[in-house]
């Protein structure tokens, strides 16, 4: 759970991390059918990670791209604010 305050409105994001594992694919489809937003992430240093994300992205529309870093935190807050 991530709580943000935007324009004096409290927004709670419920975030799920499935690590892109195939065994979660049927479960996540049930959840993201009702989702307001989805984050698909990959490791820029591992090309197979990016290739795996392509399969997930093919089933989504109006996708935006944010380059951020889980390691440094760069642009993570901006991404969360945009999602909210």
pLDDT exceeds cutoff 90 at 74:
yes
Q: What is the DSSP string of 26-78?
A: HHHHHHHTS-S-------TT-HHHHHHHHHHHTT-SS-------TTT-TTHHH
If one counts the domains in the chain, the total is 1
Which residues have CB under 8 Å from 74's CB, separation 6+? 68
The predicted structure's pLDDT at residue 54: 75
pLDDT exceeds cutoff 90 at 21:
no
Give me the domain span that covers residue 45: 2-83
pTM above 0.75, yes or no: no
pLDDT exceeds cutoff 80 at 79:
yes
C-alpha 73/C-alpha 81 separation (Å) is 14
Instruction: Judge whether 76 and 70 are in contact, CB under 8 Å.
Output: yes
């Amino acid at each position: 759970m991530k709580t943000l305050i935007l324009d004096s409105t409290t927004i709670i994001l419920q975030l799920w991390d499935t690590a892109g594992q195939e065994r979660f694919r049927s479960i996540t489809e049930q959840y993201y059918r009702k989702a307001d937003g989805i984050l698909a992430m990959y490791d820029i240093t591992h090309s197979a990670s990016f290739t795996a994300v392509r399969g997930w992205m093919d089933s989504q529309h109006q996708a935006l791209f944010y380059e951020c870093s889980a390691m440094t935190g760069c642009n993570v807050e901006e991404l969360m604010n945009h999602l909210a």
